[in-house]
């Protein structure tokens, strides 16, 4: 287990559609997955414990976490949101951005012309092979969500990495939140 020593540098913001954010919480603890390694980005997930609870409002909602064995069909639409750059190495926006992408199967993502075998079972790809829509610098750690048939929103993935932004054959790569190998990580809260 790795913990972050510089917690005073971090804050979590909630309900912010425009800068500056309306609700901030300081971070009490950050636990980085013990198997995370840079630059591979496998196991790219961390738990963040806030200094105090967050009240849910009309602008602050919870999202469901999928069961470890839960699957989401490929080619369904999912939504990414973030404050990242609007283009590769471009400016960041003053308003929260939202984009719709499609989940792409791992076999396609592991093709030589896409990511050449770099996508592990703990990752998933989302975007468009023709490019044009993607997460970008500054969106890392942000949500990839999709509704189920009951319109319950699930956190399918977490923005992890990519090859620049919105390039053809380079969709965004996300940490897969429904993964047996990540399931043990939340148990660390009890230790």
User: Tens-digit pLDDT profile for the chain (191 aa)?
Assistant: 444 455 667 778 787 776 666 788 999 988 888 889 899 999 999 888 899 999 988 888 889 999 888 889 999 999 999 999 999 999 999 888 999 999 999 999 999 999 999 999 999 999 999 999 999 999 999 999 999 889 999 999 999 999 999 999 999 999 999 977 666 655 554 44
Radius of gyration of the chain measured on its C-alpha atoms? 16
Nearest-5° Cα angle at 29, 17 to 63: 40
Query: Quick one: which of 135, 156, 6 has its CA closest to 73?
Result: 156
**CA dist 136 → 110, 123, 130 (Å):** 20, 17, 16
CA torsion angle 133 134 136 140 (round to 10) = 150
- Return the exposure string of 20-57: e unless at least 16 CB atoms fall within 10 Å of the residue's CB, then b: eeeeebebeebbbbeebeeeebbbbbbeeeeeeeeeee
What does DSSP assign to residue 58?
S
Domains belonging to the chain, first-starting first, are 2-58 (2.40.10.10), 76-176 (2.40.10.10)
């Amino acid at each position: 287990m790795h913990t972050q020593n510089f917690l005073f540098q971090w804050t979590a913001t909630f309900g912010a559609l425009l800068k500056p954010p309306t609700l901030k919480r300081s971070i009490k603890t950050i636990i980085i997955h013990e198997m995370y390694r840079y630059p591979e980005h496998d196991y790219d997930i961390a738990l963040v414990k806030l200094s105090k609870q967050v009240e849910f409002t009309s602008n602050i909602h919870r999202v469901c976490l999928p069961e470890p064995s839960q699957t989401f069909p490929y080619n369904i639409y999912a939504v990414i949101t973030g404050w990242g750059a609007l283009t590769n190495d471009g400016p960041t926006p003053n308003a929260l951005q939202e984009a719709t992408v499609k989940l792409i199967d791992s076999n396609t993502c592991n093709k030589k012309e896409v990511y050449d075998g770099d996508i592990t079972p703990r990752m998933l790809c989302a975007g468009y092979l023709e490019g044009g829509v993607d997460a970008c610098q500054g969106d890392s750690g942000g949500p990839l969500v999709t509704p189920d048939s009951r319109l319950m929103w699930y956190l399918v993935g977490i923005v992890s990495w990519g090859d620049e932004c919105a390039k053809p054959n380079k969709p965004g790569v996300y940490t897969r939140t429904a993964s047996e190998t990540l399931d043990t990580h939340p148990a660390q809260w009890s230790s």
